[in-house]
Structure 1
Amino acid sequence: MTGLEHLVVLGAGLVAGIMTSTVGVSSLLSFPVLLALGIPPVVANASNAVGLTPGAITGSFGYRTELREHPRVATTIIGTCAIGAAGGALLLLALPPGVFEAVVPWLILGTCLLVGAQPRISSWLRRSAAAVPPDEHTRLSPVTTFFAVLVGVYGGYFGAGSGVMMMAVLGFGSHLEFRSLNALKTLAVLACNLVASVVFVAIAELDWTAVVLLAAGSIVGGYVGARIGRRLNPTLLRSLIVVVGVTAAVRMLTS
């Protein structure tokens, strides 16, 4: 890489770190940047996951107050996403390199649709669960836990939009405040990236220059994003998620 390309990857890591803690679609920015620099798709994907892990760590640290409020849910998220991500990372390395590029845009569009419809569906769920004891409102059901595992698989496989998916899963399967959902979404991204990174470092080919530059940028961006995400209006944050997700999916489909 040239000096300018180093700066581009560093900047991509910074913005991706901010997006990890806010809209949850960081890889939609950083992954295409690595591809544009000529890094092979699977190598770029694995390097991207490893490089953005520090941003998810600082983002989760920035949300530590919210995460302490729901330790049971946080523990469930870590466990389910870690298990799923291990399978997803191995799946990525086992399948042909071009497979995930074909399916990812449609997965992202589907999750954007879920997030956009979430307020109306959640309202119906709250009315249906009016008789449920208050302490059950923040406990994940077996069905929600199962879908959290699936999000973990996707996060380990590719990860772009996994934060959006987790927001949708938690929004439909719990009655947590939106700021708590955002914190748990960031924790889910951390669990996915961390476990996938262990697999990739052990058996995948990585571009270590890209990894280091993304990590340096995402460390700062993740913490800054947590500060921003806590203060965003829920409607505004949901709108940003949909706009960014749809835009990225359309670009991937038309590229």
Structure 2
Amino acid sequence: MTFWLFIYFIGAGILGGLLASIAGLASLVSYPALLIAGIPPVIANVTNTAGLVLSGIGATASSSRELRGEGKLVTGLTALTLAGGILGSALLLIEPASTFEHVVPFFILSAGVLLLVSGHQADRKNVPALRDQNKFGLVLKAIGLFLIGAYTGYFGAAGGVIILAILTLSLPQRFAVLNAFKNVMAFMANAVATIIYAWTGKIDWLVVLPLGIGFLIGGYCGPIVVRHVPVRLLRILIAFAAFGLAVDLFVKAYF
């Protein structure tokens, strides 16, 4: 690997880490960057997932303020996505992710819509979360998070933004706190997926090194940005970024 290619991967990791920890949309940058560098799609996918573990470490460390006192809740939520992530990663070893490409754009589009219609955070302070309303809502949320965990382990594109959309609709915490939850959940799902992928020998560890350095930096900076950007603006930007990714994946899948 040349010096400039090493720097290129660090830069892609920083931007990807920022998008991952702010919006769960690292796929807008890091995965395409790997493809541009000439890495085959399957290897690029698993290598990107391995690098995202570093983004999760950085984001979790930076989110200690938001996670304080939320240990029990975030542990339960993470367990759901982790179980799903194990299933999804195992499925990827059996069936290629290309079989899922035709429905992924609609998942991401739906996540963007959910973020837009979920309402302003200030208007939701006195609105009970789904978990407090009825057992049916709790079951729906649990099933949803398990399935998104499986999706993240299997395909991964914009899994974080879909998790964020579900959390935004089902929990009353501030957006920055929900984003911290999302970062921990995505971190654990990617970590488990990486352990499973490592057995296949397809991860390009030489690329993971510079990419991971960038992811760690970007992941750490993301929660800091979230604290200072207006929630309404951030929600809109994430939603429209999701729409853009959905359109791009739709074109690639159908045309």
Output the CA distance in 1 between the equivalents of 2:233 and 2:67: 22
1:44 aligns with 2:44: yes
State which drifts further: 83-92 or 111-120.
Answer: 111-120
Output the CA distance in 2 between the equivalents of 1:108 and 1:136: 27
Per the alignment, residue 205 of structure 2 pairs with 208
Offset, 1:203: 2.6
Amino acid at match of 1:115: L
Matches within 5 A, 1:121-136: 129=128, 136=132
1:178 aligns with 2:175: yes
Offset, 1:79: 0.7
Amino acid at match of 2:213: A
State which drifts further: 41-50 or 104-113.
Answer: 104-113
Offset, 1:253: 3.0
Q: Tell me, what secondary structure is at the counterpart of 2:185?
A: helix
- State whether residues 77 and 187 of structure 1, in contact with CA within 8 Å, keep that contact through their aligned partners in structure 2: no
What TM-score, normalized to structure 1? Answer: 0.88
Residues 72 and 97 of structure 1: is their aligned pair in 2 closer, same or farther, counting only changes over 3 Å? closer
Amino acid at match of 1:181: L
1:249 aligns with 2:243: no
Residues 194 and 211 of structure 1: is their aligned pair in 2 closer, same or farther, counting only changes over 3 Å? same
- State whether residues 93 and 204 of structure 1, in contact with CA within 8 Å, keep that contact through their aligned partners in structure 2: no
RMSD: 2.7
Output the CA distance in 1 between the equivalents of 2:11 and 2:185: 24
> How big is each residue's C-alpha offset from its partner over 1:196-222, in whole Å with a ceiling of 9 and x where there is no partner?
111111234111222112111111111
Amino acid at match of 1:61: A
Output the CA distance in 2 between the equivalents of 1:102 and 1:8: 31
1:70 aligns with 2:70: yes
1:235 aligns with 2:229: no
Unmatched 5+ residue regions in structure 2? none
Output the CA distance in 2 between the equivalents of 1:3 and 1:93: 33
Output the CA distance in 2 between the equivalents of 1:195 and 1:42: 17
Q: Tell me, what secondary structure is at the counterpart of 2:173?
A: coil
Output the CA distance in 1 between the equivalents of 2:82 and 2:165: 18
Offset, 1:31: 0.8
Unmatched 5+ residue regions in structure 1? none
Output the CA distance in 2 between the equivalents of 1:43 and 1:100: 17
Amino acid at match of 1:222: G
Q: Tell me, what secondary structure is at the counterpart of 2:118?
A: helix
Matches within 5 A, 1:96-245: 96-119=96-119, 129=128, 136=132, 141-245=138-242
The count of residues paired between Structure 1 and Structure 2 equals: 250
Amino acid at match of 2:94: A
Per the alignment, residue 33 of structure 1 pairs with 33
